[in-house]
Amino acid sequence: MDKVEITIIGAGVIGLAIAAELSAKYDNIVVLEKHDSFGQGISSRNSEVIHSGIYYPEASLKARLCVEGAEGLYKLCERYSIPHKKLGKLIIATDQIEINTIEEFFEKGKNNNIKNLRLLDKQSVNKIEPNNNAVAAIYSPNTGIIDSHSLMKHFYNMAKDRGVLFAYNSEVILVNKQNKEFLVGIKQEDYHFKSKVVVNCAGLSADYIAGLAGIDIDDADYRLKYCKGSYFFYAKKSPVKMLIYPVPQKELIGLGVHATLDLGGRLRFGPDIEYVNAIDYNVNSNKKNIFYAGASKIIPGLEKMAFVPDMAGIRPKLQGHREETRDFVINEETDKGLPGLINLIGIESPGLTASPAIAKYVRDLTEQILT
């Protein structure tokens, strides 16, 4: 029977970043992906924002890996000419109550070690971005946007050049611990092999893979909830040149209708929050009024007729609707009797930003297993 050192399940940005990182040190790595190429899941349906890490609870993995990841991403972008733009972001308060909230987030951001954050009054905001309804704002100059496909291609090429084997059309249906190794099986062919380490970064199916390996996902609190985020684009010239966010909703349930730009300068609003039972990427055009109202709260003079349904993505959330936000799970599962299995579960935003830092975190866990 064939044997490999490391099996990575899922070729989204997380699996690809991990493959690139681990292949610098280890040989005999295989990436299994159920689709016919990389980046067909969550990683190609998101806002492509390089977040700075303001919102996340202090000392959480989300906060730490976002800050480290953003720094790593900008270095990668410069070094390998990955398309990106450091546009900057404003989180705007539109009344006195919201000023109190942004002051709290400003402190949180400083505690999360975010560099160059500034609290601006109305006049100072208007100097850098005139078209908005701010009475005050947090300015994050280090927030940017990135071409996520180019980033994934970079990780893919790096891993491939270092000898990683990519097996597409390979849906994992078996992960079975046997003595010191895992027996891994795929659906498309009746094929099994052995692997010392299994890294589960299967995105929306990461809880299913953990279950396959023998973990009770309800006991472990690993069951994922699908949370859809829809976008509308603005079919006219963008009146803003940076990313504009309202004050986030309580418990970070959502960031509110916010304005992001893509690398072509196209303005879009979203993603909103809608818990769903199944994966479905249709955008409900009836949401136009809600998007228009939310967008008009932060940017004046928008034209309703220019709001056009765009795309949707699905977040793999560990928390249900209105429940307190949960951190990323990145666990080596020795304590569950499965040494050698590394689960990455609930890798929602800021997963894209954090990807290089998540890869280093997984490298450290892998080193502990393979020494």
Ligand X SMILES: Cc1cc2nc3c(=O)[nH]c(=O)nc-3n(C[C@H](O)[C@H](O)[C@H](O)COP(=O)(O)OP(=O)(O)OC[C@H]3O[C@@H](n4cnc5c(N)ncnc54)[C@H](O)[C@@H]3O)c2cc1C
**Class of residue 230 by CB neighbours under 10 A (exposed 0-12, middle 13-18, buried 19+):** buried
Least CB distance to ligand X at residue 358 (A)? 9
Q: Which residues bind ligand X (CB under 6 A)?
A: 9-15, 32-35, 40-43, 45-49, 51, 171-172, 201-205, 209, 229, 271, 313-315, 347-353
Residue 316, SS3 per DSSP: strand
- Closer CB to ligand X, 3 or 187, in the complex: 187
- Closer CB to ligand X, 12 or 356, in the complex: 12
Residue 66, SS3 per DSSP: helix
Which of 338, 273, 359, 365 has its CA nearest to residue 21? 359
Centre a 10 Å sphere on the Cβ of residue 228 and count the other Cβ atoms it contains.
Answer: 22
Pairing of strands 89-93, 144-146: unpaired
- Closer CB to ligand X, 10 or 340, in the complex: 10
| C-alpha–C-alpha distance, residues 41 and 269, integer Å | 21
First-to-last alpha carbon distance for the chain, in angstroms, is: 24
Q: Are 350 and 228 in contact (CB under 8 A)?
A: no
| C-alpha–C-alpha distance, residues 309 and 292, integer Å | 11
Least CB distance to ligand X at residue 121 (A)? 28
- Closer CB to ligand X, 136 or 270, in the complex: 270
Centre a 10 Å sphere on the Cβ of residue 3 and count the other Cβ atoms it contains.
Answer: 10
- Closer CB to ligand X, 138 or 330, in the complex: 330
Least CB distance to ligand X at residue 367 (A)? 21
Least CB distance to ligand X at residue 300 (A)? 25
- Closer CB to ligand X, 201 or 244, in the complex: 201
- Closer CB to ligand X, 213 or 299, in the complex: 213
Which of 142, 168, 166 has its CA nearest to residue 155? 166
- Closer CB to ligand X, 67 or 136, in the complex: 67
Centre a 10 Å sphere on the Cβ of residue 121 and count the other Cβ atoms it contains.
Answer: 12
Token representation of residue 294: 């939310």
Least CB distance to ligand X at residue 149 (A)? 11
At a CB cut-off of 8 Å and minimum separation 6, what does 168 contact? 11, 33, 35, 36, 37
